[in-house]
Amino acid sequence: MSVPEPAVHLAFLISAGMGHLNPALRLAAVFLRYGCKVTLITPKPTLSLAESNLISGFCSSFPQVTHIDFNLTPLDPTEVNSDDPFFLQYETIRRSVHLLSPILSSLSTSLSAFIVDVFLISPILSIAEKLFCPIYIYFTSSARMLYFIAYVSVLADSDSDAQPHPSTFIGDAVQIPGFTSPIPRSSVPPPFLLQGSNSFQRMIMEDSRKLLKLDGVFINSFEELEGEALGALNEGKVVRGLPPVYGIGPLMACEFESVDQGQRGSMSWILEWLDEQAEGSVVYVSLGSRTETRKEQIKDMALGLIECGYSFLWVVKLKKVDREEEEGLEDVLGSELMSKVREKGVVVKEFVDQMKILGHPAVGGFVSHGGWNSIIETVWEGVPILTWPQNGDQKITSEAIRMSGVGIWADEWGWGTEKVVKGKEIAKRIKEMMSNECLRVKAREMKEAAKKACGVGGSCEVIIKGLIEEWKRNA
Ligand code: UDP
Ligand code: UDP
């Protein structure tokens, strides 16, 4: 007797970087738990080793998933006007999407929905007529960032210039209807304000308008964390005609991500070291998966950690792309500073299992660049955060987290690349985070709210079950 096919078939199309891949795979895992059939389309080659390891981990954990490699057409880097390798990869993927048509038409069962990365809105809509199914995006940042992106086309349209440039239509601050807290110019992602034209600006402007053509937006956030922004988006206060924004967060880490499961180095000695530390006594420091700590900053970072008075677990990247890491930490810090660092804490260069670290009782605070996935993971574990935005959306996410009360933001430090922050200042802010009882209480409350949101009968389940029913009805 043949087994009937699941009634709902979803395809996921991924862009670049762990901050994009992680939430997509976690969302796919949610749908798999509800019995949906999943086809996963991943660009090939991936830029980082961390991405290819994670894809392998996912596919071995879920052998029922159909995995399709999507071969990219290389792009001339001069067309992108950026020296960021991830940005080049975003653009390469965008320009290869049209090659997907034959792949999609050869799928064995028709799609109930296509769920694509936020950076692929316009390219996917350009082949949408061949898909015959609703199209959703998964948004990889905060609701506050989504309403910024949704609103920039309104701002551009209200500019009298025939070809308005973001550096002129973004005034001193962006005041968005339905929201009490404006976004100051200094928080706008820097590439967006650069003079001339770059592909990041073109992408945001093009995609901002096209948001209206989507069937929905999944976002890794939830009511208690970003209620005002989610409400404003869904009540049509930001832009009329926006599709539903589904706050399905917090998207939780799954077994397939476990670093020990793959070949991503060993976490065991780090966890053993954490086991020896007192509860809530360790500061965890990481600027995410694709931000290198500048050579000029690294010594003061070390001095700040030594001075702060807490033990620490410091994850350092010396290159944006992990495959390019060559230098040893001792070469950069010097042997004297390195041995002082090791007296007080632990410093590593490898990719770590962040969820296991954040979930360890010894960890009492996180110094983060403000990547949205890191923030949500920290909220899930009830750990207070100090953000140090380095680029992109990270000031906007930092503000979202400050507003929620679970984190503080060292806004006097500016963007990570603006200046060298002195060790003393770093130590002062870390002490502030670690000793702030209000933050700790709020973080614990938010953890409870997070567990509720993705527990039985919580907001995530209600949304997912509702959509599955809708797709079945429309089949
Ligand atoms: N991450 C990790 N180990 C590392 C560095 C990063 O597990 O050593 C994960 C982290 O848990 C998060 C993602 O990679 O899920 C990074 O996404 P985020 O949005 O925080 O920042 P990005 O790296 O995209 O700047
Ligand atoms: N970027 C860049 N130069 C450009 C355009 C973009 O370096 O001309 C990078 C920048 O590092 C930024 C990223 O592209 O972080 C995209 O912004 P965002 O942080 O909003 O997206 P993410 O990739 O972190 O999800």
Tally helices (H) and strands (E) across the chain: 20, 15
Q: What is the SS3 assignment for 178?
A: coil
Taking the CA of 370 as reference, the closest ligand is: 1
C-alpha of residue 40 to centroid of ligand 2, in Å: 24
Please enumerate in sequence order all residues whose Cβ is within 8 A of that of 2, keeping only pairs 6 or more positions apart, or say none.
Answer: none
H/E element, 323: none
* Atom nearest to 200 CA in ligand 2: 5
Report how far residue 346's alpha carbon sits from residue 361's, in angstroms, rounded to the nearest whole number.
Answer: 16
Report how far ligand 2's centroid is from the alpha carbon of 26 (Å). 22
The token pair at 205 is 């402007």
For atom 15 of ligand 2, the residue with the nearest CA is 392
Buried b (16+ CB within 10 A) or exposed e, 420-434: ebebeebbebbbbbb
Best CA proximity match to 115, nearest among 236, 4, 226, 31? 31
Structure confidence at residue 79 (pLDDT): 81
Q: 313 pairs with which residues across the strands?
A: 284, 346
Look at ligand 1, atom 24, and give the residue with the nearest C-alpha.
Answer: 19
At 266 the pLDDT is: 67
Segment-wise mean pLDDT, segments of 10 residues, the chain, 475 residues: 76 97 98 97 96 95 97 88 89 95 89 97 91 95 96 93 91 90 96 91 95 97 96 92 97 84 67 97 97 93 98 95 87 93 94 95 98 98 98 97 97 94 98 98 98 97 98 91
pLDDT at site 262: 47
- What pLDDT is recorded for position 1? 55
Q: Got the DSSP string for 78-135?
A: GGT----HHHHHHHHHHHHGGGGHHHHHT-SS--SEEEEEGGGHHHHHHTGGGT-S-E
> How many of the other CB atoms lie within 10 Å of CB of 417?
12
Which residue matches tokens 């079950």? 465
Number of neighbours of residue 179 by Cβ within 10 angstroms: 21
Asked whether 378 lines ligand 1 (CB < 6 A), one says no
* Ligand 1 site, residue 354, Cβ cutoff 6 A: yes
- Which entry of 117, 207, 322, 353 is annotated as an active-site residue? 117
pLDDT on residue 124: 96
Q: How far is the CA of 392 from the centre of ligand 2 (A)?
A: 5
- Find out whether 186 and 172 touch, Cβ atoms under 8 Å: no
Q: What is the pTM of this model?
A: 0.94
Catalytic annotation present for 67: no
394 lines ligand 1 (CB under 6 A): no
**How much is the pLDDT for 179?**
84
Ligand 2 pocket, CB under 6 A = 17, 19, 82, 84, 87, 140, 189, 191, 198, 200, 391-393
Residue-level pLDDT at 175: 93
User: Atom 17, ligand 2: which residue's CA is nearest?
Assistant: 392
φ, ψ at 283 (rounded to 5°): -95, 125
Angle between helices 18-33 and 49-61 (to 10 degrees): 10
161: left (phi > 0), else alpha (psi -120 to 50), else beta?
A: beta
Indicate if 157 belongs to the active site. Answer: no
**DSSP 8-state code for residue 236:** T
